[in-house]
Amino acid sequence: MTNPPFPTLSQQNRDLLVEALLQWSLGNGLTMYPPGYESLHVVANAPVTLFPTPIPKSAFNAAIAVQQPFNQVYANVVSKKQWLVDVIKVLGAHDPEFTGRLFETYQKSLVDGKPVQRVSLGLFRSDYMVDTETNSIKQIEFNTVSVSFGGLSTKVGQLHNYLNSQGFYDDNYSYEYYNKDVIPVSPSTVELARGLAKANEKYGELTKPDNETVVLFVVQPNERNCFDQRHVEYALLNEFGVKSVRVTFNELATKTSVREDRLYVKSTMDQVSVVYYRSGYGPEEYGSEIEWEGRLKAEKTLAIKCPSILTQLSGAKKVQQELTNPEILAKFIEDSEAIEKVQSTFVNIYPMDDSEAGLKAREWAQDSQQCLKFVLKPQREGGGNNVYKEDIPKFLEKLPKEEWEAYILMELINPQQHPNSVIRNSEVFSETILSELGIFGTVLFNEEDGDIYHNEGAGFLLRSKFSSSNEGGVAAGFGCVDTVCLTE
Ligand code: ADP
Ligand code: MG
């Protein structure tokens, strides 16, 4: 007999569960720095759910199975280049300060029309919701830069497994409430580290450094989610013997030096094999010329970038919209089975330009009834930028018509809702939640000739948020990390 997806606990048992959860989290690094933190040795529990959340097994397996095809599509979008460059030029014209400037930096970095290092690493994450009607996965977005929560995802899976094994989910005895098989632990910490290690190894083959090399983690100053990154660093050293060095995005320019196209950490003269960005995806991070200088400097070296500027730009929401067109998708992937898998995850996404589809979308977006089916997205990452449903017409009214084509109009996905509880700042909130399943992938490829050296899935992430909030950013304060409970 299988238990219902959520246990019912007496108040006393629930209190015990909460205490065990909070202490396991602190004991095992399922943590974040609190907002506005000043002390480096005071941490807080990362927001998590009390229980795992049901996800149909078939949907979960489908999401895992489509990751390699998606990695391949995006690697090909980058290496086939011209199509992407044309899309980015249009976006850049609307957003000269950021998308335009990134593209310009890419162009400046080329030597005789080619990047200095042709090999590029993608640590990607494809995000989905499970559509209530069909129980199938539908893609929210494909992330190509600074994907987060690979580290904490492993931890939250271990947490829920600990609580289950210790019997905290059983109200009467201390039995396991869930069968272990249905609450898998995401291998993302080690798998993301493996991707970085593969790139480090490739760098060694290509450039024959005479000393050991390091991976440079380029992070945001005062990063609250730093333990998520640290777990990947620890795995990189423990599992693969590769050291890492952390610098802020601002320090990328000042704390490194370049000799014969190689990038070094100034203080130690460690040679950098991989520049791994956990920053640099939003315009507010480029507060001065120094950040642009750092980005260009790294781009012009033999260090493998994760991601290169072009790979970062391939994650544009406009690219995602274009790929829903079968003719365009066919440029980047040939295998018909893979095409089918990829396409089965798409909902309708429309341009907002003056093409036939765009004109139709403009009409819907301005209509007080039709707009309720959509979310309007600009070319930005990191949460908090989208415009939902009834807010769309008002928003467009204020936006000059020339700017509209920089946006895409996407059908809203309607995911299942569940009565779970969320622990945030040690306080328990019991509310309906909805969840977003992210699948990590790593791909090491050649941006010039399109060779793919390594293409693997790299674990998963479940993020949940209260149904009452439109957005789901964990660090931004809307959501939390969760574990899947696989259901038939
Ligand atoms: P960002 O780059 O800011 O992360 P996303 O495209 O991931 O942008 O959107 C942010 C959040 O908005 C998602 O995590 C999800 O909660 C919600 N969202 C985005 N697109 C949809 C959609 N088509 N249907 C339902 N919710 C969506
Ligand atoms: Mg997102």
408-451 residue pLDDT tens: 999 999 999 999 999 998 899 998 999 999 999 999 999 999 99
Q: Quick check: is 295 catalytic?
A: no
pLDDT score at 394: 97
Ligand 1, residues 375, 389, 392, 465: which to mutate, most atoms within 8 A of Cβ? 375
Tokens describing residue 272: 């950098």
CA proximity to 217, closest of 236, 190, 201: 236
Instruction: Give the span between the Cα atoms of 118 and 95, in whole angstroms.
Output: 27
What lies within 8 Å, CB to CB, of 402 at 6+ separation is none
Tokens describing residue 209: 């450094």
CA proximity to 102, closest of 299, 322, 385: 299
Question: What is the secondary structure of 309-360 as a DSSP string?
Answer: HHHHHTT-HHHHHHHTSHHHHTTT---HHHHHHHHTTPPPEEE-SSSHHHHH
Q: b vs e for 433-459, b when ≥16 Cβ sit within 10 Å of the residue's Cβ?
A: bbbbbbbbbbbbbbbeeeeeebbbbbb
| Chain mean position to CA 139 | 13
- Which residue ranges are tagged as binding site? 125, 141, 143, 145-148, 223-225, 229, 278-281, 317, 377-386, 388, 410-413, 436, 463, 465, 471, 474-475
Where do you find CATH 3.30.1490.50 in the chain? 348-412
Ligand 1, residues 141, 314, 462: which to mutate, most atoms within 8 A of Cβ? 141
CA proximity to 57, closest of 169, 150, 163, 136: 136
- Which residue ranges are tagged as binding site for Mg(2+)? 141, 143, 381
Query: 371 and 390 in contact (C-beta within 8 Å)?
Result: yes
36 burial level (CB within 10 Å; 0-12, 13-18, 19+):
exposed
* pLDDT tens profile 217-253: 999 999 999 999 999 999 999 999 999 999 999 999 9
CB atoms within 10 A of CB 37: 14
* Given the residues 14, 125, 138, 155, the one annotated as active site: 125
Low-confidence spans in the chain with pLDDT less than 70: 1, 470-478
Instruction: Give the span between the Cα atoms of 480 and 159, in whole angstroms.
Output: 14
pLDDT score at 380: 83
Residue 6 is given by DSSP the state S
* pLDDT tens profile 5-51: 899 999 999 999 999 999 999 999 999 999 999 999 999 999 999 99
pLDDT score at 383: 79
3-state secondary structure of 316: coil
pLDDT score at 273: 98
Ligand 1 site, CB within 6 A: 127, 140-141, 375, 377, 381-383, 385-386, 410, 412-413, 436, 471-472
Query: 295 and 288 in contact (C-beta within 8 Å)?
Result: no
Greatest Cα pair distance, the chain, in angstroms, is 71
pLDDT score at 382: 77
Q: Quick check: is 360 catalytic?
A: no
Residue 132 region by backbone torsions, left for phi larger than 0, else alpha for psi between -120 and 50, else beta: alpha
What CATH number was assigned to the domain covering residues 348-412? 3.30.1490.50
